[in-house]
């Protein structure tokens, strides 16, 4: 089919808080010269967004509802790639993702919902392979910095050691900024799905849930406090590890297991500085307890009702510009070669992870697909960012999006 479309990129959900940030970023950054448009269910609200952000007249306003299949089919036919911030995806994502897969239109989202992704992968893969569409989930803070952090580290290991690292430990060394409201909403919908189908608990706990037909070795436990001898620091559970670990293993599988079929990956939050003893341990124990309490609270239906009623239904919710710009994060990815050689990559982001950095990550991922990655390298299918774009996206994020990827001395 022809990939000569009216727009390079359409932002779907531009009237929401995150979608608006994406539109603002594309405008201020110049969108790398791309032709782009904004879409949503209300033309009036889209018009207000365009006026408030001072978007140029060339940014078209396109009307489509997430549940209107005919409107979505017409929408995706006009773009090379559709970027959607409309979640939770298990409630609103399937019609748009399906329309893109059928039309041969590339697709990126912010999905951190493994149950939905596990259901969509077998459904969308044959459609996308036939049409040429590249469907890429998880293009925000979950899971681009983690997925690409491992890709970058393994590429450096190949250069320096001539072989991949059989084990990598991802560690959140520093983070400032709360999880997004969309992440919380997705977590609650996932808990609702598990309540309806208790058997889904096993899928959530399976690090290879997104690699159909493949099951790797036993992976490290991530819920209890533990001392990390590679980081020389205590650590506790990290909220996004459940989705990030699944995406990292899927990247390895989609690439043909270049890191080995026995690859081991774990992801945790450091609770102290290197060499910090008892204080770091106490923080790790407290974090593990808090994580369990939060899980119990979110598992309680009245709690989820109150959060939806008084937190998640408020329009335009999210941190202000000062808070977004004050946020940041530092991630460590450490591996050891079969000969015992150690290598660490450090990934840093210059904005809060849930909003300020995420709007840049997904924007550049969409642009990377249409401008940097040809279909000979990445044909139609359902991909992870690491497998679809890899080092091309690393370079783009390093140059344009306030991220740095470096090897520690």
Identify the three-state secondary structure at position 328: strand
For the segment 235-245, the average pLDDT, to the nearest whole number, is 93
Give the per-residue pLDDT at 315.
Answer: 41
For the segment 179-190, the average pLDDT, to the nearest whole number, is 71
**Pick from 210-214, 295-299, 330-334, 345-349: least confident:** 295-299
Answer yes or no: is pLDDT of 364 > 70.
yes
Give pTM, 2 decimals: 0.93
Q: What is the torsion angle, in degrees rounded to the nearest 10, for the CA atoms of residue 128, residue 131, residue 133 and residue 135? A: -10
Pick the CATH number of 7-140+356-388 from 3.30.70.380, 3.30.70.330, 3.40.50.720, 3.40.50.2000: 3.40.50.720
**Pick from 53-57, 290-294, 343-347: least confident:** 290-294
DSSP state of 32: G
Q: What is the pLDDT of residues 312-323, one digit of tens each?
A: 444 457 889 999
Q: Percentage of the chain surpassing pLDDT 90?
A: 78
Give the per-residue pLDDT at 120.
Answer: 98
For the segment 209-232, the average pLDDT, to the nearest whole number, is 92
Residue that has been written with the tokens 């983070």 in this structure: 175
Would you place residue 394 in the very low, low, confident or very high pLDDT band (cuts 50, 70, 90)? very high
Phi, psi torsion values for 334, nearest 5 degrees: -120, 135
Give the per-residue pLDDT at 301.
Answer: 55
Separation CA 326–CA 106 (nearest Å): 33
For the segment 168-176, the average pLDDT, to the nearest whole number, is 97
Give the per-residue pLDDT at 292.
Answer: 64
Separation CA 384–CA 250 (nearest Å): 7
Every domain of the chain with CATH number 3.40.50.720 lies at: 7-140+356-388
Answer yes or no: is pLDDT of 289 > 90.
no
């Amino acid at each position: 089919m022809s990939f000569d479309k009216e727009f390079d990129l359409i932002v779907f959900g531009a009237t929401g808080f995150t979608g608006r940030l994406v539109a603002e970023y594309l405008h201020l950054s110049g969108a790398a010269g791309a032709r782009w448009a904004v879409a949503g269910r209300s033309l009036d609200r889209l018009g207000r967004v365009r006026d408030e952000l001072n978007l140029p007249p060339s940014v078209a306003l396109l009307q489509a509802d997430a549940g209107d299949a005919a409107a979505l089919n017409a929408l995706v036919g006009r773009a090379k790639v559709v970027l959607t911030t409309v979640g939770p995806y298990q409630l609103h994502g399937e019609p748009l993702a399906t329309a893109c897969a059928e039309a041969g239109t590339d697709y990126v989202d912010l999905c951190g919902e493994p149950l939905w992704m596990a259901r969509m992968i077998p459904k969308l893969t044959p459609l996308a392979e036939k049409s040429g569409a590249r469907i890429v989930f998880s293009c925000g803070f979950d899971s681009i910095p983690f997925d690409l952090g491992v890709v970058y580290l393994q590429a450096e290991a190949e250069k320096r050691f001539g072989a991949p690292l059989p084990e990598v430990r991802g560690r959140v060394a520093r983070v400032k900024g709360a999880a997004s409201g969309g992440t919380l909403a997705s977590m609650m919908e996932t808990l609702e799905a598990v309540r309806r189908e208790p058997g889904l608990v096993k899928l959530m706990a399976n690090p290879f849930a997104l690699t159909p037909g493949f099951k790797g070795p036993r992976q490290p436990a991530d819920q209890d406090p533990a001392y990390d001898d590679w980081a020389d620091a205590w650590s506790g559970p990290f909220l996004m590890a459940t989705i990030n670990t699944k995406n990292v293993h899927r990247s390895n599988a989609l690439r043909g297991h270049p890191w080995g079929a026995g690859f081991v990956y774990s992801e945790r939050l450091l609770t102290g500085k290197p060499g910090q003893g008892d204080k770091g341990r106490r923080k790790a124990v407290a974090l593990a307890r808090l994580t369990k309490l939060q899980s119990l609270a979110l598992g309680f239906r009245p709690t989820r009702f109150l959060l939806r009623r008084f937190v998640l239904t408020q329009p335009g919710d999210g941190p202000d510009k000062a808070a977004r710009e004050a946020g940041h994060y530092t991630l460590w990815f450490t591996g050891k070669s079969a000969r015992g050689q150690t290598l660490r990559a450090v990934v840093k982001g210059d904005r809060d992870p849930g909003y300020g950095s995420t709007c840049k990550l997904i924007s550049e991922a969409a642009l990377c697909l249409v401008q940097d990655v040809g279909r000979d390298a990445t044909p139609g299918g359902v991909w992870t960012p690491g497998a679809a774009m890899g080092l091309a996206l690393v370079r783009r994020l390093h140059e344009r999006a306030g991220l740095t990827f470096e090897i520690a001395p």
